[in-house]
Structure 1
């Protein structure tokens, strides 16, 4: 992506996380995503970054698939902060259900 410092890291992260998932290495895949999350959190001045947002969206779906709804919601909300075009993801059923559960 033009002007994005994280594009190469984002692509590498997605490829490695996908490989780890295909190898049924859940711990390894989570570690890859967590390392990326920590890295981008070190740069709070980056208010918009579509490539990082896509990685966080993948991470959120990874955690949602494993039954970690609240964690997944926090991650996807951060993704939306980085790329407003991802906002429709919050309307997905699984995220709506988590948000409804938090309200009660």
Structure 2
């Protein structure tokens, strides 16, 4: 699965944090963007994985602040590779969603529209396949429902950004499809259809609630 990311890779090296201060700062930043309220709720394996993700995302942020944009992109892509290499069974969807969104937004800011679309499409394909497989598992394992819903909410945020991206490219039919998929993942964001860019979708189709 990691091979899907190869087309996204620019040729630069990967770096790791060197100080305890950076490590602490990376955790603070990561818990903020993923809205993790209580680290004590994570088991040892989850905490270790979170630290890996946090360090990478913090380093990408630092690279961007130093205008090392290609290096930042490389860090994001490497992180996505690692998040996907263990397969669907071990996929942390909220973490994958956060990385994919940060990468796609960074690529947009750099004017790399084709790479941004490739990142969004990669996420959409994998998230769609993941939830098609996982829905049956959740029905038979109610204890997994909270994590499943959390992943859906995070996925909706990525699809929302994808829809906005395509609307800016004047691909309104694709944008409509994506915003509706986002609402399927997280019905609470249906109010997005009141945004001017999406309002014509709602006017055309009516309120089916």
Q: Shared topology, TM-score over 0.5?
A: yes
Q: What is the aligned counterpart of 2:123 among 36, 51, 71?
A: 36
Aligned to 2:113: 26
Q: What is the aligned counterpart of 1:53 among 152, 156, 160?
A: 156
For 1:13, what is the secondary structure of its paired residue?
helix
Change (3 A) 1:81 1:98: closer
> Over aligned residue pairs, what C-alpha RMSD do you find?
2.3
Where structure 1 has 5 or more consecutive residues not aligned to the other structure, the ranges are: none
Structure-2 separation of matches of 1:88 and 1:9: 25
TM-score by length of 1: 0.85
Kindly tell me the number of residue pairs found equivalent between the two proteins: 102
Give the deviation of 1:99 after TM superposition.
Answer: 5.1
Where structure 2 has 5 or more consecutive residues not aligned to the other structure, the ranges are: 1-33, 37-90, 139-147
Give the deviation of 1:97 after TM superposition.
Answer: 2.2
Report Cα offsets for 1:45-79 as digits up to 9, x if no partner.
28841000000000000001110111001001000
* Bigger Rg, which one: 2
TM-score by length of 2: 0.44
The structure whose RCO (Cα within 8 Å, separation 6+) is larger is 1
